[in-house]
A and B are shown apart, each in its own frame.
Chain A
Amino acid sequence: MRSSPDCPALPLTRSCATWSWTVVAACVGLIACVTACEKDFRSCEAGLCPSGTSCNTATGLCEAPTGPRPDPVGLFGRISLVQLSDGKLGVAGLAPAHQSLAFLSGQAAEWQTTFVAGPAAAAEAPSSGHVSAAVVGPDGVVHLAWARATDASLWYASGGPSGWHTEAVAAATAGTVGDEVAVGLWQGRPVVAWRAGAAPWVRVARRQADGNWAGENVPSPPPPVGDAPQEAELGSSLTMAILPSGPALAYHDDTHGDLVLAVNAPQGWSVSRIAGSDPTTGADTGDVGRPVATAVGQQGGLAVAYLDRTRGQVWVARSSAGLLTHQVVADGGFDDPSSGARRVALLGTALSVVVLPSDRVAVAMLDASRLRLRVAVEKVSGGFVLYDVPGTRPQLWPSLLVPTAGGLKLGYVELDAPRGPAASAVSVWSVPVGGTP
């Protein structure tokens, strides 16, 4: 939003934002004065509007084109942004108009759509794809996992835009799969994790060389110090990262409000509470870890981004030399100009985290009070720089990606509320991470 009347209306046209990025750099050079203007305005007129939107120089806002969108296949709900072997982007998620799991490839506004599961993929197939996850292997193969709500079953697909091989994950008994799914590759083979509908809540299955799935239950964490053992409900938020030693799962203990980390190694699972209760006294320190997101850096370090609902803060925990250190990424506090009071936005109910090649972390988070996305990029000197994702429409479901060519991309869903969920569209924004000190 344009905040200063001193910012001139620059002679940029909508097409500026659609130029190639080399041309965008030239655009940036033309508008030195905009550094004095507010972020959205600067991003807009610097040509940093998300793909699929363009800069309205009259308002300084990145706006989606009016009228029908070029691609009617919008996604709605959590998405997974991946990089394909040809350098293009891929996005997996639910296409609500088709009640099917869709995979978009290409780039925003010019997405090519294939349907992986659901009625759009196979006639008579039940609705699929409300919860999905995606990962790309070094061979360029895309691996997808999703829960099918109609029969609470778990499914897996591999392939890409040219075709998909789909199979049920037999290790996950149909009727028991809940609403959290994660997928990763361990030693080249798919690993899926999911939340079951009953204890044992968190389960993992690995695809064997013969194509069969071997399942195992992840042990429950010990109760908080001083608490009597009890069967806790686990995994209302669940995420997986692949460490050199094996899969690592981070999930929420719904009973105690704690964040749990389960790390697999050849000797078995190590499961512990890493936030939400005092490790020494067991005292409750808040409802922490719902949601949670994980990523692994090139050096193998783990980053766990999570919401502390009690304090209204987004945190990140990072492993270093076997120790976890926690730091605040952002809080929801903001000054309400109408009252002069400090409000706390509901921040971080959707999260995504990546570790940059420089070993700094970036966390994308949803401001669920204003339906805006923010990306926090760690500074070399510590602390975070916050970037507001430009745009005027409600933004949801962030998914960060570090492209092989460098930089940082944020995929997300932009709502077109008057037209309904089916009109939601995937946008991709290049986070100006290079400017982060």
Chain B
Amino acid sequence: MTHLRAMWMAAALAAASCSQPTQPLDQPLPPSHVTAGGVHLVVLDADLPQVAETIRLSIGKSIEVASAPWPMDDSDGHVLGALSAIVDLAPGKASWTANNRLQLTWPVPDLTLSLSVAAPGDIACALHFLVTGGQVRADLDVRRSAIGTVAGGLAEEPEFSWKDASLQGPDACLSGLEPAGVQALADHLSATLRGSVLPRVSAGANQAARTLFPSSLEQAVRWPTTTRWGDVGELRLSTTYLPWSPQDAALVAGHEAPRAYASLAVGVDVDRAGCVPDLPPPAIAPTPLAGQPPAPPQGSSFLRRALVIDRASLSRIAWALHRSGALCQDTTERVRDASPSWAPTALPSLADWVEGAPLAARFWPGAAPIVSVASDSVGPVVDWRLTGATLELTGLVGGTELVVLSVSGEFRVRLRLTVVDGANLGLQVVSAKRDSSLVSSPLFGGNLPASGPALDAVVDAAVAGIFSTLPVLPLGIALPSGTMATGTSRAGDSLWLWLDSAPGG
């Protein structure tokens, strides 16, 4: 029976889980259902070297330079022989130069190109082209395009510059060349170097710019919902980047503090299930992003960002989940584990009536969850206070299943951020218990003077059983592709989910 019930619960709630197939949203959500600035994607200044390093790895630490033999102009028929060399990029650095502009530089270790130059009828002589003080620089710009999409890319062409470059070799070799020929040769070599290096840098930097604040975070989707009691509806969700100021299409702000961020607007709407009251969405304004970010996990060697979710967005999403009927539940999980003698111990007035352990628990949420961010033994958690809710316990009386206990009042559920299928953010229940409540029984009518550890134990087990049947509740936020969550931190009323990208991710 338990097996059967569990299967049914899973089927009924699958609609609310992250893996439900989605459809594109056919119209924008009304502004009243959108929380602007409640979610941010943050890059800490402390992690900027990793940004530079990640891009260096995607470009390639060593770039091959090669060219075919080159007949030199104005040189009486001299020919530069085929050229093959490696340009190394040393670990670089990154820094914000404007709200939306990230400058990346990588030093290039001194470089010596081995050349051969031959005049007609002569034996080729060897030369060297020495480049010192080299550096590659790229400026990234993240903006919203004219059609509203995220358009990250190079702000201008990247540069490969150096302090000094000179041809060196036997005088006899160079003496056959006119000065203009020598200059032409140096120019050719410089162009060859830049022509080999800069396209790779452009490609890598463009990709990085698009990856840093990916357009995949923007979505407008809807998916069907069903409830335990047969309600069928739809949940609609949109996520869009916000320009950091109304006048500017740039997405990245806040480089004055030790982090930069792109903010998102999250819109949520849902068809109401019958088992919950018709309540408006919570009117909670997002709080500004904390100036001082929390400490990230130790030891990241990859491109790290933090997805910050503010209480305002968490409240809006909790409201939507509540409204969808996802919290209207019944279960036999954990309830039947209670002691067969629970009734006399917990509530002596039930002693003569109830046979054995409780059979099932039913939960009816009242108001939408009151959401806060808290710290728990498992780390930062989302705290839901459910007021006006009712928990019913059923048991056997004279061989027939009845509601034997009704507990009305406030319940507290704690949830932690989790990642589903490696791609979507969700909330997973870690604990659930009664906070304060009134106890009654339809056998007696009216409230019963009930309290004590035995009653607390059976009620808390029932509440935990109810919420243990919930699948991961979707937040409707997809992780940037190629990232994995490495930890969660709390800063005030916000949760910071730390994400690492694989090299080149």
Contacts of B402 in A (CB 8 A): 346, 349, 366, 368, 371, 396
Q: Does A98 reach chain B (CB closer than 8 Å)?
A: no
Partner of B276 from A131, A287, A341, A370 at Cβ < 8 Å: A341
Partner of A339 from B230, B277, B352, B443 at Cβ < 8 Å: B277
- A311-B399 contact, Cβ under 8 Å, with A257-B1, A287-B8, A339-B277: no
Contacts of B115 in A (CB 8 A): none
Please determine whether A349 and B275 come into contact, CB atoms closer than 8 angstroms. no
Contacts of B5 in A (CB 8 A): 287
- A339-B398 contact, Cβ under 8 Å, with A286-B8, A287-B5, A420-B352: no
- A369-B392 contact, Cβ under 8 Å, with A340-B278, A418-B444: yes
Q: How far is the CA of A311 from the CA of B276 in the complex (A)?
A: 17
Contacts of A31 in B (CB 8 A): none
Contacts of A305 in B (CB 8 A): none
Q: How far is the CA of A307 from the CA of B398 in the complex (A)?
A: 18
Partner of B398 from A257, A312, A341, A396 at Cβ < 8 Å: A396
The smallest beta-carbon distance between B62 and chain A, in angstroms, is 59
Contacts of A421 in B (CB 8 A): 352-353, 398
Question: Which chain A residue has the least Cβ–Cβ distance from B367?
Answer: A339
Question: Which chain B residue has the least Cβ–Cβ distance from A254?
Answer: B1
The smallest beta-carbon distance between B466 and chain A, in angstroms, is 15
Q: Does A344 reach chain B (CB closer than 8 Å)?
A: yes
Q: Does A394 reach chain B (CB closer than 8 Å)?
A: yes
- A349-B229 contact, Cβ under 8 Å, with A287-B4, A339-B277, A340-B278: no
Q: Does B416 reach chain A (CB closer than 8 Å)?
A: no
- A339-B401 contact, Cβ under 8 Å, with A310-B8, A394-B443: no
Q: How far is the CA of A382 from the CA of B134 in the complex (A)?
A: 91
Q: Does B394 reach chain A (CB closer than 8 Å)?
A: yes
Q: Does B7 reach chain A (CB closer than 8 Å)?
A: yes
In B437-452, the 8 Å CB interface with A consists of 442-444
Please determine whether A415 and B7 come into contact, CB atoms closer than 8 angstroms. no
Contacts of B275 in A (CB 8 A): 341-344
- A368-B394 contact, Cβ under 8 Å, with A257-B1, A346-B401, A396-B400: yes
Please determine whether B443 and A343 come into contact, CB atoms closer than 8 angstroms. no
Q: Does A143 reach chain B (CB closer than 8 Å)?
A: no
Q: Does A161 reach chain B (CB closer than 8 Å)?
A: no
The smallest beta-carbon distance between A340 and chain B, in angstroms, is 5
Q: How far is the CA of A344 from the CA of B394 in the complex (A)?
A: 14
A-B contact count (CB 8 A): 93
Q: Does A77 reach chain B (CB closer than 8 Å)?
A: yes
Please determine whether B443 and A415 come into contact, CB atoms closer than 8 angstroms. yes
Q: Does A397 reach chain B (CB closer than 8 Å)?
A: yes
Question: Which chain A residue has the least Cβ–Cβ distance from B230?
Answer: A311
Please determine whether B399 and A130 come into contact, CB atoms closer than 8 angstroms. yes
Contacts of B353 in A (CB 8 A): 417, 421
Contacts of A63 in B (CB 8 A): none
Q: Does B249 reach chain A (CB closer than 8 Å)?
A: no
Interface residues on B, range: 20 to 34
Contacts of A179 in B (CB 8 A): 399
Q: How far is the CA of A346 from the CA of B359 in the complex (A)?
A: 12
Please determine whether A366 and B400 come into contact, CB atoms closer than 8 angstroms. yes
Q: Does B403 reach chain A (CB closer than 8 Å)?
A: yes
Partner of A340 from B8, B277, B399, B442 at Cβ < 8 Å: B277
Q: Does B420 reach chain A (CB closer than 8 Å)?
A: no
Please determine whether B442 and A394 come into contact, CB atoms closer than 8 angstroms. yes
Q: How far is the CA of A76 from the CA of B397 in the complex (A)?
A: 9
Contacts of A77 in B (CB 8 A): 398-400
Please determine whether B442 and A369 come into contact, CB atoms closer than 8 angstroms. yes
Question: Which chain B residue has the least Cβ–Cβ distance from A424?
Answer: B398
Contacts of B11 in A (CB 8 A): 284
Contacts of A346 in B (CB 8 A): 362, 392, 394, 401-403
Q: How far is the CA of A69 from the CA of B402 in the complex (A)?
A: 25
Question: Which chain A residue has the least Cβ–Cβ distance from B397?
Answer: A396
Q: How far is the CA of A77 from the CA of B402 in the complex (A)?
A: 12
Q: Does B364 reach chain A (CB closer than 8 Å)?
A: yes
Contacts of B400 in A (CB 8 A): 77-78, 349-350, 366, 368, 396-397
Q: How far is the CA of A385 from the CA of B396 in the complex (A)?
A: 29
- A343-B401 contact, Cβ under 8 Å, with A287-B4, A415-B443: no
Partner of B364 from A130, A343, A366 at Cβ < 8 Å: A343
| Per-position 1/0 for A46-71, Cβ under 8 A of B | 00000000000000000000000000
Q: Does B69 reach chain A (CB closer than 8 Å)?
A: no
Q: Does A256 reach chain B (CB closer than 8 Å)?
A: yes
Q: Does B274 reach chain A (CB closer than 8 Å)?
A: yes
Contacts of A284 in B (CB 8 A): 4, 7-8, 11
Question: Which chain A residue has the least Cβ–Cβ distance from B3?
Answer: A255
Q: Does B204 reach chain A (CB closer than 8 Å)?
A: no
Contacts of A350 in B (CB 8 A): 400
The smallest beta-carbon distance between A127 and chain B, in angstroms, is 14
| Per-position 1/0 for A276-295, Cβ under 8 A of B | 00000000101100000000
Please determine whether B278 and A131 come into contact, CB atoms closer than 8 angstroms. no
Q: How far is the CA of A420 from the CA of B366 in the complex (A)?
A: 33
Contacts of A349 in B (CB 8 A): 400-402
The smallest beta-carbon distance between A234 and chain B, in angstroms, is 12
The smallest beta-carbon distance between B417 and chain A, in angstroms, is 29
Please determine whether A371 and B392 come into contact, CB atoms closer than 8 angstroms. no
Please determine whether B4 and A257 come into contact, CB atoms closer than 8 angstroms. yes
Contacts of A417 in B (CB 8 A): 353, 443-444
| Per-position 1/0 for B243-278, Cβ under 8 A of A | 000000000000000000000000000000011111
In B351-404, the 8 Å CB interface with A consists of 352-353, 362, 364, 366, 388, 392, 394, 397-403
In B49-84, the 8 Å CB interface with A consists of none
Q: How far is the CA of A77 from the CA of B397 in the complex (A)?
A: 8
Q: How far is the CA of A342 from the CA of B5 in the complex (A)?
A: 22
Q: How far is the CA of A369 from the CA of B330 in the complex (A)?
A: 14
Q: How far is the CA of A257 from the CA of B397 in the complex (A)?
A: 22
Contacts of B276 in A (CB 8 A): 341
Q: How far is the CA of A131 from the CA of B396 in the complex (A)?
A: 14
Contacts of B1 in A (CB 8 A): 254-255, 257, 287
Contacts of B366 in A (CB 8 A): 339
| Per-position 1/0 for A252-267, Cβ under 8 A of B | 0011110000000000
The smallest beta-carbon distance between B405 and chain A, in angstroms, is 11
The smallest beta-carbon distance between A1 and chain B, in angstroms, is 13
Contacts of A310 in B (CB 8 A): 8
Q: How far is the CA of A165 from the CA of B392 in the complex (A)?
A: 45
Please determine whether B277 and A341 come into contact, CB atoms closer than 8 angstroms. yes
The smallest beta-carbon distance between A59 and chain B, in angstroms, is 14
Contacts of B362 in A (CB 8 A): 346
Contacts of B392 in A (CB 8 A): 346, 369
Q: How far is the CA of A418 from the CA of B320 in the complex (A)?
A: 43
Question: Which chain B residue has the least Cβ–Cβ distance from A93?
Answer: B398
| Per-position 1/0 for A408-431, Cβ under 8 A of B | 000001010110110000000000
In A378-437, the 8 Å CB interface with B consists of 394, 396-397, 413, 415, 417-418, 420-421
Q: How far is the CA of A371 from the CA of B392 in the complex (A)?
A: 14
Q: How far is the CA of A67 from the CA of B402 in the complex (A)?
A: 27
A-B contact pairs, 16 of them (CB 8 A): A77-B399, A78-B399, A130-B399, A286-B8, A287-B8, A311-B229, A340-B277, A341-B276, A344-B275, A349-B400, A350-B400, A366-B402, A368-B394, A368-B402, A397-B400, A417-B443
**Which residues on B are within 8 Å of A, measured CB to CB?**
1, 4-5, 7-8, 11, 229-230, 274-278, 352-353, 362, 364, 366, 388, 392, 394, 397-403, 442-444
* Interface contacts beyond A369-B403, A417-B444: sample of 14 additional A-B pairs, CB < 8 Å, sorted by A: A77-B399, A78-B398, A257-B4, A284-B7, A333-B229, A339-B364, A340-B277, A341-B364, A342-B229, A344-B229, A346-B394, A370-B442, A371-B402, A417-B353
**Which residues on A are within 8 Å of B, measured CB to CB?**
76-78, 130-131, 179, 254-257, 284, 286-287, 310-312, 333, 336, 339-344, 346, 349-350, 366, 368-371, 394, 396-397, 413, 415, 417-418, 420-421
Q: Which 8 A-B pairs have the closest CB atoms?
A: A342-B274, A77-B398, A257-B4, A349-B401, A368-B402, A371-B442, A369-B403, A340-B277
